[in-house]
């Protein structure tokens, strides 16, 4: 299963912090969101990345060997790049709680979506700059969840800093 950490349409809310880097490179505590994904999931999953086209060349150069803006497998799990990957996220993914054809939503944000490559509107073509999570979720069976931490506002990485230092 290919795990794609994606940027959704909300990324513009984090300007200017993300104008020249992906949302998953936002820092909170000692680590970026991307470092948290790598620490929790890279041992069990091959992580790949969806970033806006204007930063994709830089991201690829800075991360040699990283798969960027490509679907490489038929079984795909999309994971929102604004999600704080912790033990709960790792357990949710590793336990296989996301069924094929299912979108997992929290407070109007797509957190996870498991699908095959074929119905994705961008598989085999150019990835969009951002993925409209709720439009994509509309094509799948949606499950509402709570309890996951997702960066939703510009000030949250700083506000969460003391908690994330522990």
pTM over 0.85: yes
In this structure, are residues 67 and 6 in contact, taking their beta carbons and an 8 Å threshold? Answer: no
In this structure, are residues 157 and 26 in contact, taking their beta carbons and an 8 Å threshold? Answer: yes
At residue 125, does pLDDT exceed 70? no
Q: Looking at per-residue confidence, does 58 or 123 come out higher?
A: 58
Confidence tier at 128 by pLDDT (50, 70, 90) = confident
Average pLDDT (97-102) is: 94
Domain boundaries, the chain: 2-164
Average pLDDT (84-102) is: 93
51 secondary structure, DSSP code: -
- Token pair in block for residue 107: 């407070």
* Per-residue pLDDT reduced to its tens digit, 25-77: 999 999 999 999 999 998 889 899 999 999 999 999 999 999 999 999 999 99
* 2-164 to CATH, choices 3.40.50.920, 3.40.50.1360, 3.90.550.10, 3.40.50.20: 3.90.550.10
3-class SS at 133? Answer: helix
């Amino acid at each position: 299963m290919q795990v794609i950490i994606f940027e959704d349409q909300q990324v513009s809310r984090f300007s200017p912090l993300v104008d020249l880097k992906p949302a998953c490179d936002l820092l909170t505590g000692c680590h970026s969101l991307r470092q948290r994904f790598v620490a929790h999931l890279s041992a069990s999953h091959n992580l790949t990345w969806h970033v806006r086209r204007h930063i994709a060349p830089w991201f690829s150069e800075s991360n040699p060997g990283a798969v960027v803006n490509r679907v490489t497998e038929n079984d795909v799990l999309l994971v929102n790049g604004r999600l704080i990957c912790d033990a709960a996220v790792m357990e949710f993914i590793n336990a296989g709680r996301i069924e094929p054809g299912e979108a997992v939503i929290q407070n109007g944000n797509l957190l996870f979506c498991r699908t095959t490559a074929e119905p994705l509107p961008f598989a085999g073509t150019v990835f969009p700059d951002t993925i409209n999570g709720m439009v994509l979720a509309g094509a799948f069976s949606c499950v509402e969840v709570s309890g996951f931490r997702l960066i939703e506002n510009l000030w949250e990485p700083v506000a969460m800093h003391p908690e994330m230092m522990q």
